[in-house]
Amino acid sequence: MYAAADEQFTKLRDDVSGRFANLSGASAQERADALSDIYMPVTREAGRLLYSLVRATKPAVVVEFGMSFGLSALHLASAVRDNGTGRVFTTELSEAKIAAATKTFAETGLDDVITVLEGDALETLKSVRGEIGFVLLDGWKELYLPVLKLLEPQLATGALLVADNTSMADTQPYLDYVRDAGNGYVSVNFLARDSDSMELSCRG
């Protein structure tokens, strides 16, 4: 899947940039539909980091905002499976990506620890039950903070939040929130690729 994503990026770099630019005023669903064929994965290194963090913390509930084709969910679910406990809830708007990812989850034998929530995450995530120990934010950036505030009442003490693409301007409200000690988080930013960063935050 990473090889396919790399090949696609090489071939479609200009096309993808143009599509993103043309969707600046589109709704979340319109953007998801327009980019339903585009891989948008975390890096290989970030995937290994996600696996390691979930293995180390052994969360009962893992939430991912923004599944795409499911590469990050595979890392999260593999860690849950190797821990012997837990469940991954992942969200996605694109029907095409949901169909492809669901097939991949079944082929890898991880479908029994993954629940795919189809539709608007601000609605579907209301169905998640239990204490949330790990959150990956990798969907539309302007929704990072609304998603966090929706999940916040269920976050365990010591829960880890990982936000991808935090060099993008739309993530700033989220960053301001988790970096304010008064909101109960300890937060650190680090480079995830040459031109972008991730934010790791711990709920106190």
Note the pLDDT tens digit of each residue in 111-161: 999 999 999 999 999 999 999 999 999 999 999 999 999 999 999 999 999
Q: What is the pTM of this model?
A: 0.84
pLDDT at 107: 96
The helix (H) or strand (E) run that includes residue 63 is strand 61-65
Top pLDDT among 154 and 14 is at: 154
Q: Average pLDDT for residues 183-198, to the nearest whole number? A: 89
Angstrom distance (rounded) from CA 135 to CA 160:
6
Q: What band does 5 get if pLDDT is binned at 50, 70 and 90?
A: low
What is the pLDDT, as a whole number, of residue 184?
97
Among residues 147, 178, 180, the alpha carbon closest in space to that of 63 is found at 147
Residue range 31-51: mean pLDDT, rounded: 78
pLDDT of amino acid 82:
98
Nearest-Å Rg of the Cα atoms of the chain is: 16
Confidence at residue 12, expressed as pLDDT on a 0 to 100 scale? 63
Please say if the pLDDT value at position 92 is more than 90: yes
Sequence spans of domains, the chain: 39-203
The pLDDT-based confidence of 18 (bands split at 50, 70, 90) is low
How many Å apart are CA 171 and CA 44, to the nearest integer? Answer: 22
> What is 39-203's CATH superfamily?
Vaccinia Virus protein VP39 (3.40.50.150)
